[in-house]
A and B are shown apart, each in its own frame.
Chain A
């Protein structure tokens, strides 16, 4: 899966959780929680959405690696390569 494809999936998940957020203006290297009003329930739903979209489970210990758009793409690309191997 390409980075662009992963980015699209991540943004789709975010838009479902925070439909009011302007995702086009999202700073990729800044924490989601500093830019979007996300609480822990929103974040859990985001992780569930990303897991379903990517087809693998994301352990709770890895949540910090999903803190920003750049971090998400890097982590999910790595996990998707591991899954494919």
Chain B
């Protein structure tokens, strides 16, 4: 069970998307896990052949629990005790481990007709319901278009399964209110930990957005609607490039020391329609073009609101950006998401009097703030970081 955020202690394995004997390659989505922040698609971080699935669908297990065994061909033996939950240990991103080739033990669910090859077609609602009711989706007969599994199919299967109690599954009968409360608890726990452990300092600067907005307006006028860029993408690129100039803002505080990250994975705080928020990452934000960042941002927001993340996106942001300008907020003084060491906040762009070359002008001004960890940096470096963001936004075509 991968750690999908500092606030995550356990997760429910909702559904396996592979079965023993399947060949998988790095990046494939192999399972769906339910956390307080929604359903998350778990990717595999090695290529190989699935040897066995250790955790049945519907089971809630602590972070660090080995979920499956994968034969990568490297023949690295795995001691039996390694397959037990590792309390408190930082979970590796892999949800699977290698093992010599014991006869694969089919999961309990695969004892009856094998699942059809490829992914099951399941509606998001049906998938969530299956997690709540502990229903193995491979055992559900889909009656929707092309055999798609609907909510009714899951309910029917759950009803018939009550006559023959499932063995290991732990049914969860949570209401939306329960789930919302669980998310608030998870956010509160992470934020309390952050305020307790991280000596925050805050800085603020004002950025003249006229060059960026004028450039964007001209650029978007030439583009079709599907290719247009929001200024939020410019902000993400500016933060990602500024981080390369001030690397103390990018990385993790772990085991009493700052570990800078070579990769720049900017986390984007996204509010959810049902309440709460998540902050998945756009990987390698500094290496991607503005158009690529915009495409990924659009995709990420859509999947966030549909409750469909990938494990790598939620587990490894190296710095987070939160933009509350559209909610009318001018300044954002955020709480760092541990183990990260910095959070950049953007507020609303407002027209303000602005002195330019000794003359008074009216300019669209953005308030940018930094919450940073005094253990990893100080105000001097933080100031340079905000100044770098400002400078980059004055030359938007270079973003």
Interface residues of A (CB under 8 A from B): 18-20, 37, 39-41, 44-45, 47-48, 51, 57-61
By a CB distance below 8 angstroms, the chain B residues around A20 are 273-274
Q: Are B326 and A48 in contact (CB under 8 A)?
A: no
Contacts of B297 in A (CB 8 A): 41
Asked whether A57 and B230 contact (CB < 8 A) given A41-B297, A44-B298, A45-B298, the answer is no
A58 touches B225 (CB 8 A): yes
Q: Does B192 contact A (CB under 8 A)?
A: no
With contacts A20-B273, A60-B220 taken as known, whether A41 is within 8 angstroms of B225 at the C-beta atoms is no
CB distance from A71 to the nearest CB of B (A): 17
Q: Write 10 A-B pairs (CB below 8 A) sorted by A numbering.
A: A37-B273, A39-B326, A40-B232, A40-B326, A45-B298, A48-B225, A59-B221, A60-B220, A60-B228, A61-B221
Interface size class of B (residues with CB under 8 A): 10 to 19
Residues of chain A lying within 8 A (CB to CB) of residue B302: 45
User: Which of B232, B274, B297, B326 is packed against the most chain A CB atoms within 10 Å?
Assistant: B326
Residues from chain B with Cβ under 8 Å of A61 in the complex: 221
Residues of A within 8 A of B221 (CB): 59-61
Distance, CA A26 to CA B228, complexed state (A)? 28
A41, A47, A60 interface centre (most CB from chain B within 10 Å): A41
Instruction: Check: B301 CB closer than 8 A to any chain A CB.
Output: yes
Q: Is the interface of B mostly helix, strand, loop or mixed?
A: helix
CB-defined contacts of B220 to chain A, threshold 8 Å: 60
Asked whether A18 lies within 8 Å of B225 as measured between CB atoms, the reply is: no
The residue on B at minimum CB distance from A42 is B301
Pick the contact of B230: A18, A37, A44, A58 (CB < 8 A).
A44
- Closest residue of chain B to A37 (Cβ to Cβ) is B273
Distance in angstroms from A48 CB to nearest chain B CB is 5
By beta carbon, the residue of chain A nearest B298 is A41
Q: Mark B279-298, 1 if CB is under 8 A from A, else 0.
A: 00000000000000000011
| Chain B min CB distance to A47 (Å) | 6
Q: Which residues of A contact B228 (CB under 8 A)?
A: 44, 60
Residues of B with C-beta under 8 A to A57: 224-225
Closest Cβ neighbor of B274 among chain A residues: A20
How near does chain B come to A63, taking the closest CB pair, in angstroms? Answer: 10
